[in-house]
Structure 1
Amino acid sequence: MAFVRSFGAAEVVTGSCHMLRLKSGIRILVDCGMFQGREEEWNAGPFGFDPKKVDLLLITHAHLDHVGRIPKLVKEGFEGMIVATKPTFELAQVVLMDSAKLMEEEFRTRYRKAQRRGEEKQVPPPLYTVEDVENLFLLPHTYARYDKPLKVAKGVRVLFRNAGHILGSATVEIDYKEEGVGKTVVFSGDLGTPHDIVTPYVADVPKADALFIESTYGDRNHKSLKKSVREFKEAVRKTLLNRGNVIIPSFAIERTQEVLCLLKQMYRNRELPHCKIFLDSPMAIRATHLFSKYHNELGPECRRFYREDGDVFGFPWLRFTSDVEDSKRINEIERGAVIIAGSGMCTGGRILHHFKNRLWNERNCVIFVGYQAEGTLGRHIVEGAQWVRIYNEDIRIRAKIYTINGFSAHADQRGLIEWMRRFEKLGKIALIHGEKEKQLLFKKAIRKQLGKRAHIVRYKEKIFL
């Protein structure tokens, strides 16, 4: 009998990695992501299965917690077929190259310091290298197209539907036969919100004998997007009219593109005071070019921008600063700048330089548009810190701090339940990709609103289909 085992994103949010084992012996892996936050040390450990025996890898989307360990999978022997949408492949290259470069740089830094102590043998190597990432993209792969069934093995086909989460994201249906009976198992991937600014609506799925559904925000409903957009615009306008500068820590994929889209709306509607806008993140710039390349797969507002301007995100006041020297020159601007930089949680990257130069000025503001994990600099600031230490210097926080929580790329409890409600046939429900305490609340909500039982998947547990 077929079964699924989860080797990541089981009672935790990150590290998505789910193995479908068919009665025929075929092994299909859905995602192979990186653990982040408290579970980060798990990345260097064993997978819990033999990568050499995996026949097929299906990728739902290109966020690091869904693709981040694929180079390690290849390094340890995986040679099977990879299936994903074309935008997901291209975004994954951007994400994984950036990840590999950061790990190599961190290794070199730690190695130099250890050498001075005579402890260089104790420094663990990077999880993978740029060369490992390059080897990954030499493997056989097939591009999935939305709503087009794809035969991947004898008696097995897959179908990708738009998950509305980020560019190229997908919900994956796997159809197979067991003892002559057709069955369908569905992996939701990460589901988007029904009113996202950049991505289109989440596609419906007609049936599932078993559904493995994400539960990141299964415990709550998001704040109104309209209210969040209004708060964002008011914060930008107020700061610029006060002759200050706006600093926006932003995630490179999806959140940055939302911010650019909002600023372009303001420019076109004459809501934006005259300013200079800088996208100061090489990774976000590469991702933005890819979003523009696949403009036909974006939401209606982005497609309209492209039809009318020939450019989804660009407008006269926007500048891309890939070069380090160009980034440094932004600090010479005394007022009237909007600076979008990474990292989204302020754990590194160019945002720290902008903080060092601007946090102390009461005319400036910082707008947080994404989740700030516990223990990060971003969380420290959001929680009301008056001082921060950046590059060994104590900085007084006088800038106005805005936290706008309505820009989520994940469906909330209401969205997840309404998506499940539209299934014509829905069998087993298995909860993955969420913290256990949130999953318990989501489980109760499913029981109350859908009249169905849901199971919280444990690490390595066999879920028979």
Structure 2
Amino acid sequence: MELEFKGACREVGRSAVLVDDKLMMDYGVSPGEHIKYPVNGSRPEAVLVSHAHIDHSGAVPNLMDLEPDIYMTPPTFDLTHMLANDTLRIAERKGEIPAYDSIDLSKFVHKTKQVDTGVEFHTHGYDVEFLNAGHIPGASAIHVRDKEGKSLFYTGDINTLDTRLVSGAIDFPDSDILITESTYFGDDHSPRKEIEKEFIDSVQDTLDIGGNVIIPAFAIGRTQEILMLLDAHGIRAYVDGMGVQAYKIMSKHPEYIRNPTHLKKAFSNATMVTGRKRNRIALDSSVIVTTAGMLNGGPVMYYLKKVFKDPKSKILITGYQVEGTNGRLAVDNGIIDNDGIIQQLGIKVEQYDFSAHCGDKELKEIVSDFCDRGTENVFTMHGDDCEGFADWVKEEIGVEAFAPEIGERFTL
């Protein structure tokens, strides 16, 4: 089995792994000021998409001139299609040339086969199965076996712990090769209940003094989880942006949601906002959950223009902020770029670790479990310290481990 790593090597973003020049696992972009794509030259016959976040799915429509067969779970298809349409709309509004067009998007819809987790299927000489990855609704790890019986397990973005929105990943199959994400290698997450308590206390304290709480949240996964958390504590919120559309999509796939009844209740109790109604919101002790999760455009910038000088108000960051994004600027330097204007934030900025990824402890447990059951080669990707993780595997477990560089190939 031959592997070529096209992206997410010693970095977070643009995940793409090519198997035997035939199967592409994920094909995403790296967000930020300058979007990065997987290194080119690939001609896959099939594409397997782990989940809908753009760093894993965002460039798939760009492959449509090759007419590959595409596979993903039903929620991943609906959510990926939503994001792809949004990418085209944004490019058109900015007068930019996107990496694909509406014809490519139509081909993407036509070529995609939707397969539920736990259902084995065959494509181009490989047996494949999607397994719950516990990351967002529809997210899957990918198990691939070739004609000779050689197998690999690709985690994509994975979480073995339950969140309010989805159940954690369990019961992994044996595999000769493991390709694992490394996002939080070296960093353990605080217990979820502790994070939730600190977050809710901060929200309530801000409301008590008449401040507003702006919560930038990723449209897929984080918006829904945060609304469920707020609702569980009786805090009514406004919800704005693509997270509402994502919720409606998730509602069509309740089997991928841990508690669909509570999710529905949380959105029923929230006030959904559209662009024409934003100016009707009285920014007076209000909680607003809105995109974009890294402050790179979206409705959140409208609200920040209103309150960025208010010392009583807060921005509560709820996710990983990629280098070069507005969110990273806000967290590190207390400034944002708002339509070309650099603004010093008077509003307080707090960051909470609502990660949907495994922490250091869980990542090491996954690798140890696989190696105990016979895994011979481990590849670490999608992280800031992939080399450190590979070294840990070699030193602590005694199994061959690699932190590939962009474009590097391996024959196993």
TM > 0.5 fold call: yes
2:237 is matched with which residue? 277
Is the contact between residue 142 and residue 155 of structure 2 (CA under 8 Å) also seen in structure 1?
A: yes
1:185 is matched with which residue? 152
Distance change (3 Å), C-alpha of 1:57 and 1:374? closer
Identity of aligned residues (%): 28
Question: How many residues of Structure 1 are paired with residues of Structure 2 in the alignment?
Answer: 410
CA separation in 2, counterparts of 1:417 and 1:459? 24
SS in 1 for 2:378: strand
CA separation in 1, counterparts of 2:115 and 2:410? 26
Max radius of gyration: which structure? 1
SS in 2 for 1:189: coil
- Structure 1 position 325 matched with structure 2 position 325: no
- Structure 1 position 421 matched with structure 2 position 368: yes
Which residues in structure 2 correspond to 1:90-129 (within 5 Å)? 90-107=78-95, 125-129=97-101
Task: Give, in angstroms, the shift of residue 393 of structure 1.
Answer: 6.1
Give RMSD over aligned pairs: 2.2
Distance change (3 Å), C-alpha of 1:147 and 1:394? closer
Distance change (3 Å), C-alpha of 1:279 and 1:459? same
SS in 2 for 1:244: coil
CA separation in 2, counterparts of 1:456 and 1:374? 20
Structure 1 residue identity aligned to 2:117: Y
Distance change (3 Å), C-alpha of 1:195 and 1:403? same
- Structure 1 position 235 matched with structure 2 position 206: no
- Structure 1 position 194 matched with structure 2 position 194: no
1:119 is matched with which residue? none
- Structure 1 position 64 matched with structure 2 position 89: no
Is the contact between residue 264 and residue 315 of structure 1 (CA under 8 Å) also seen in structure 2?
A: no
CA separation in 1, counterparts of 2:339 and 2:39? 35
Unaligned 5+ segments in structure 1 are: 109-124
Is the contact between residue 29 and residue 55 of structure 2 (CA under 8 Å) also seen in structure 1?
A: yes
Query: Which range moves more in the overlay, 2-11 or 125-134?
Result: 125-134
Distance change (3 Å), C-alpha of 1:352 and 1:169? same
CA separation in 2, counterparts of 1:146 and 1:400? 42
TM-score (norm 2): 0.92
2:311 is matched with which residue? 362
Distance change (3 Å), C-alpha of 1:38 and 1:278? closer
- Structure 1 position 262 matched with structure 2 position 229: yes
1:451 is matched with which residue? 398
1:115 is matched with which residue? none
Distance change (3 Å), C-alpha of 1:153 and 1:191? same
Distance change (3 Å), C-alpha of 1:410 and 1:107? same
Is the contact between residue 218 and residue 412 of structure 1 (CA under 8 Å) also seen in structure 2?
A: yes
Which residues in structure 2 correspond to 1:7-26 (within 5 Å)? 7-21=6-20
Post-superposition CA distance 1:423-457 (Å, at most 9, x none): 3231211112223xx11221233234433231111
Structure 2 residue identity aligned to 1:60: S
1:173 is matched with which residue? 143
SS in 2 for 1:132: helix
- Structure 1 position 403 matched with structure 2 position 315: no
- Structure 1 position 27 matched with structure 2 position 22: yes
Q: Runs of at least 4 residues of structure 1 off by over 6 A?
A: none
Task: Give, in angstroms, the shift of residue 374 of structure 1.
Answer: 3.0
Distance change (3 Å), C-alpha of 1:319 and 1:57? same
Unaligned 5+ segments in structure 2 are: none
SS in 2 for 1:349: coil
Is the contact between residue 251 and residue 343 of structure 1 (CA under 8 Å) also seen in structure 2?
A: yes
CA separation in 2, counterparts of 1:433 and 1:171? 14
2:117 is matched with which residue? 146
Distance change (3 Å), C-alpha of 1:393 and 1:18? closer
Post-superposition CA distance 1:390-410 (Å, at most 9, x none): 346675633332221x21111
Post-superposition CA distance 1:210-247 (Å, at most 9, x none): 11111122232223322211111001111112222211
Distance change (3 Å), C-alpha of 1:304 and 1:390? closer
Which residues in structure 2 correspond to 1:42-53 (within 5 Å)? 42-43=36-37, 47-49=40-42, 51=43
CA separation in 2, counterparts of 1:250 and 1:319? 16
Distance change (3 Å), C-alpha of 1:338 and 1:127? same
1:122 is matched with which residue? none
Structure 2 residue identity aligned to 1:32: Y
Distance change (3 Å), C-alpha of 1:243 and 1:134? same
Task: Give, in angstroms, the shift of residue 46 of structure 1.
Answer: 6.3
